Amino acid sequence: MKQKYNLADWLDGKVDDEVVQNTKGFDTLKKIKMYSAHFQKPEFKKDEVYKAIKKKKSSRRKTKFNWSIAASILLIIGVSTLVFTLSNKDFTSKINSQETVLLPDDSKVILAQNSKFQFNNWFWSFDRTTKLFGKAYFDVDKGKTFTVKTDLGTVQVLGTRFDVESRDSIFKVVCYEGSVKVTSLENEIILEKDQFVVFQNGHKVEQSNVYIDEPDWISTTNVFKDAPLSEVILQLEKNYTIEIDISKLNQNKRFTGSLPSDSLSLALDILVKTYQINFKVVNKNKFIFVEDETR
Amino acid sequence: MEKRLVDNVCEEQVFEGIYSKNSEVINNYFFYKFGHKIMAEESVQEAFIKLWENCKKVPFAKAKSYLYTVANNISLNKYKHQKVVLKYAKTEPQQTKDLQSPEYKMEEKEFKVKLEKAIQDLSEKQRTAFLLHRIDNRSYKEIAEILNISVKAVEKRMQKALEGMRKQIDEFK
């Protein structure tokens, strides 16, 4: 007859006092039963807690919502950055030679020795912004604002010819045609034709006139040292904006020497005499090189 | 009455209904467990926000047991509990006049203090079950549901709680 949890049943009112009155310390048990029912319910601010839940509820909803937006924005930024970086073109001139860069709109940039130049190919028609480290001469076609950014300042133009040098702490801009806007730190200067300005550490140190039509540092010769013929021809094509077909030549030829960049006939003559080759003129802008069989 | 087929927990009204029915007992459960009012309220919030976040996955009929499960999980990994401090109701049940002697009152007061101490010294499992029954008037079946254990186990806890308290009170006489 022994009930295992008789006290539990008694506490729950399932059995009467008589059933358990022989339990040890029954008086105390009775008191426990009585007084434990006298306790107050713990205080609970039901409405306030619900308000707090409501607040957190909506804020968590919002953050979840925001995540998806944030994710898509990140994706868009990521993709466009990728496209932007992929379509960035870099040019670096060697320490001992200049390089000519043709931009998509036929603007021409001549990089001085040991300079770096960057522009974006794909976005060119929207944004003519370029970056320059070192020195370069710009012959810009008319169009949207053309910007040259350097570490030391910015030059903005519409269409003109100018020269930018940004090396160490010196920032120098020379304007040969039209006008350009030069910004270095907080200084902003408009340069007219035949003027130049020099900044050092962001402070203007000189602004005066120039009396030449083109920068004197642009060399009239291209120097090659053991360069493959294809590279030499490429440089000629850029210099004179012509086309030269060398498919009929032995490609193994190498060239060491200098070629003028202001006289096409002289440059061609030098090549002809060096390699015992000949060229045919297709038209004013197109030439074909052939091996000279008469010799 | 036929119940609505789709009682969506995500619906504000349904959610609020679940809250008003169950929040207090869950709060008290946490309170008996931790002995800390603010911690109890925070845990109530946490449990209901968990329910809200999963409102699409939890059918209405399962909402209550889901809450209890969440509540039990919360209590597993949180807070060092404090002493449970309880208050006696101010309006005491009627007592016959001859029992109201000063001597009796003294004794009664003494006993109440002892009882409080005994409750504090109960194990967490026994205390939550005992107080849910005594203060919240929950049946053993309901307590079993809340604590996620069998009715037999609840009965065992009640039995042990009573025996333990009785022993402690009598020994300190």
- For residue range A101-152, list pLDDT tens digits in order: 888 888 888 888 888 998 888 888 888 889 999 889 998 888 888 899 998 8
Residue A98 belongs to a domain:
yes
Closest CA to B163 of A26, A76, A92, A286: A26
The reply to whether A9 touches chain B by the CB within 8 Å rule is: yes
Question: The CATH number of the domain where A162 resides is what?
Answer: 2.60.120.1440
Please give the ipTM for the structure prediction: 0.78
Cα(A172)–Cα(A190) distance, rounded to whole angstroms? 13
Handedness of CA A75, A80, A85, A87 (dihedral sign): positive
Both A178 and A262 in one domain: the answer is no
Which is it for strands A108-111 and A243-245: parallel, antiparallel or unpaired? Answer: unpaired
What are the tens digits of pLDDT across the range B33-52?
A: 877 788 888 888 888 988 88
Question: The CATH number of the domain where A237 resides is what?
Answer: 3.55.50.30
For residue B6, is pLDDT > 70? Answer: no
Both A113 and A204 in one domain: the answer is yes
Does A12 contact B139 at a Cβ distance shorter than 8 Å? yes
Residue A280 belongs to a domain:
yes
- Higher-confidence residue of B172 and A97: namely A97
Assign residue B88 a region (left: φ > 0; alpha: ψ between -120 and 50; beta: otherwise).
Answer: beta
What are the tens digits of pLDDT across the range B113-161?
A: 888 888 888 888 899 999 999 888 899 999 998 888 999 999 999 999 9
Q: Token pair for residue B153? A: 């186990």
Residue A66 belongs to a domain:
no
Count other Cβ atoms within 10 Å, centred on residue B7: 15
Closest approach of A66 to chain B, Cα-based (Å): 16
Residue A45 belongs to a domain:
no
Residue in chain A closest to B109 (alpha carbons) equals A35
Domain, as residue range, for A19: 2-36
Q: What is the mean pLDDT of chain A?
A: 83
What are the tens digits of pLDDT across the range B54-78?
A: 888 888 888 888 888 888 887 655 5
Q: What percent of chain B has pLDDT over 90?
A: 14
B86, B139, B159: residue with CB nearest A39: B86
Cα(A9)–Cα(A27) distance, rounded to whole angstroms? 17
What are the tens digits of pLDDT across the range A209-252?
A: 888 777 777 767 777 878 888 888 888 887 777 888 888 877 78
Residues 38-57 of A with CB under 8 A from B: 38-46, 49-50, 52-53, 56-57
**Alpha helices in chain A, H assignment, sequence order:** 6-11, 17-20, 26-36, 46-86, 229-240, 264-275
- Higher-confidence residue of A163 and A56: namely A163
Instruction: Choose the final residue of a domain: A160, A175, A209.
Output: A209
Residue A76 belongs to a domain:
no
Both A128 and A150 in one domain: the answer is yes
For residue A183, is pLDDT > 60? Answer: yes
Cα(B35)–Cα(B150) distance, rounded to whole angstroms? 24
Instruction: Choose the final residue of a domain: A150, A180, A209.
Output: A209
| Tally of domains in chain A | 3
Give residue A2's pLDDT band: very low, low, confident or very high (50, 70, 90).
very low
Residue in chain B closest to A25 (alpha carbons) equals B166
Contacts of residue A256, Cβ cutoff 8 Å, sequence gap at least 6: A224, A225, A226, A227
Residue A62 belongs to a domain:
no
Closest CA to B23 of B129, B136, B123, B130: B136
Specify which of A16-30, A78-92, B125-139 reaches the highest per-range mean pLDDT. B125-139
Residue A79 belongs to a domain:
no
Instruction: Choose the final residue of a domain: A146, A177, A209.
Output: A209
Give residue A5's pLDDT band: very low, low, confident or very high (50, 70, 90).
confident
Cβ pair B86, B116 in contact under 8 A: yes
Does B49 contact A56 at a Cβ distance shorter than 8 Å? yes
Cα(A237)–Cα(A229) distance, rounded to whole angstroms? 12
Both A93 and A203 in one domain: the answer is yes
Helix axes B63-76, B12-34, angle to 10 degrees: 30
